Amino acid sequence: MKGILKTSSVVLLMLLICSSGLQAQDAVSFEFSDGIENATLKNKMERQISNLLTAINRAQTNNTDINFSGIDIDDMATQSICMLWNNVHFRTMDDDIVEHCLQLRNGNNTLRGYQVRNIAIQMYPLDDTYTDDRHQEVCIDFNTSGKIVDFNITMGIRQYTQLMKEGIELNDIDRRMQIIHYIEQFRTAYNQKDIKFMNDIFSDDALIVTGKVVKRVPSEISLPKVEVEYKVQDKQQYLNNLRSVFANNGYINVKFNDYRIKRHGAKPNYYGVTLVQEWNSSRYSDKGIVFLVWDFTNEDAPKIHVRTWQPTEVSEDEVFTLNKFKLP
């Protein structure tokens, strides 16, 4: 009996040691390098990021839901992470992270919150249908009191830096940061299958245009020209189709690249955003040029008035731009 008890104690001790080792492996330490001077607020946000990333890593290790207890995070951010988690699990690629703190400002230059970017994550698919890039980056947003209010998959640092450089040159850097924020939310909403966000972000009279190549015409000068057939939908038609796509695909991973942001000359609250969209899902993949007309008249609730999709084969002068649409 003593031998059995002794053996059981050893096994229990080994299990405890292994469990402690796994928990240590999941722990993430985060620190801001600069960008925020309020020491109390800085420490709070660093702690929230460390706790959140550790909770995500622990959930991935144990294949469980994420435990948000002890983390100062609002319901919308929690829901956003959980919706993404229901489609694909992930964890951080580093356990010791140091990053710059970005200050997020409104159009009138008032502070609306803070953001940390460039947090590298590794995707862990729920089944073998996921064949896309498993390395992504996320950002975490805070309100002015240090509560986590958003979590999104983001563009790469090189693209972001270039857009910010253009913003400095054109004196609209704060608005560009807002646009990037909402586009990253827009992209993440596809990955989360978040039909509510899509309903909220499109204006009621939104114009949705999609194109497909119907004929390729040989050309002696360059690549073959293409004839494109366009289909026009309203908001409800587009959302109904999107609901079907969400329901019929185990996962969706949308990536945006090659951003171009242009402000309307006569209507400064309107911006045209051109980007290359890579769509990968369990049933379908494609690549095309997406053009969005964003209205920031209400900067707390911007709307998309136009969304177009064109094949990448179209020539540069055929790509949709602001001057091809009559704005409200």
Bridge-based pairing state of the strands 111-125 and 102-105: antiparallel
- Model pLDDT, residue 318: 87
Question: pLDDT of 100-139, one tens digit each?
Answer: 999 988 767 788 899 999 999 998 888 777 766 788 899 9
On whether residue 223 sits in a domain, the answer given is yes
Picking from 121, 154, 187, the residue at the C-terminal end of a domain is 154
Do 128 and 248 have their domain in common? Answer: no
Query: What average pLDDT does this structure show over 154-166?
Result: 77
Contact residues for 103 (Cβ-Cβ < 8 A; gap 6+): 35, 36, 111, 114
- Counting the structural domains of the chain, the total is 2
Query: Worst-scoring range by mean pLDDT, 46-50, 75-79, 163-167?
Result: 163-167
Residue 178 burial (10 A CB sphere; 0-12, 13-18, 19+):
buried
Do 105 and 31 have their domain in common? Answer: yes
Picking from 128, 154, 180, the residue at the C-terminal end of a domain is 154
On whether residue 123 sits in a domain, the answer given is yes
Do 251 and 143 have their domain in common? Answer: no
Render 173-197 in DSSP notation, one character per residue. Answer: HHHHHHHHHHHHHHHHHHHHT-HHH
Q: Which domain holds residue 265?
A: 197-324
Query: Worst-scoring range by mean pLDDT, 94-98, 135-139, 163-167?
Result: 163-167
On whether residue 17 sits in a domain, the answer given is no
Distance CA 275, CA 278 (A): 10
- Is the pLDDT reported for residue 213 higher than 80? no
Do 133 and 239 have their domain in common? Answer: no
Question: pLDDT of 44-76, one tens digit each?
Answer: 999 999 999 999 999 999 999 999 999 999 998
Do 287 and 219 have their domain in common? Answer: yes
Average pLDDT of the chain, as a whole number = 85
Do 56 and 107 have their domain in common? Answer: yes
Helix H segments across 32-100? Answer: 39-62, 75-85
* Residue 327: band (very low, low, confident or very high) from pLDDT cuts 50, 70, 90: confident
For residue 250, give the nearest of 127, 136, 135 by alpha carbon: 127
Do 225 and 147 have their domain in common? Answer: no
On whether residue 106 sits in a domain, the answer given is yes
**What is the value of pTM for the model shown?**
0.74
- Model pLDDT, residue 219: 44
On whether residue 14 sits in a domain, the answer given is no
Query: Worst-scoring range by mean pLDDT, 93-107, 282-296, 314-328?
Result: 314-328
Query: Worst-scoring range by mean pLDDT, 144-158, 203-217, 276-290?
Result: 203-217
On whether residue 129 sits in a domain, the answer given is yes
* Residue 170: band (very low, low, confident or very high) from pLDDT cuts 50, 70, 90: low
Looking at per-residue confidence, does 169 or 226 come out higher?
169
On whether residue 191 sits in a domain, the answer given is no
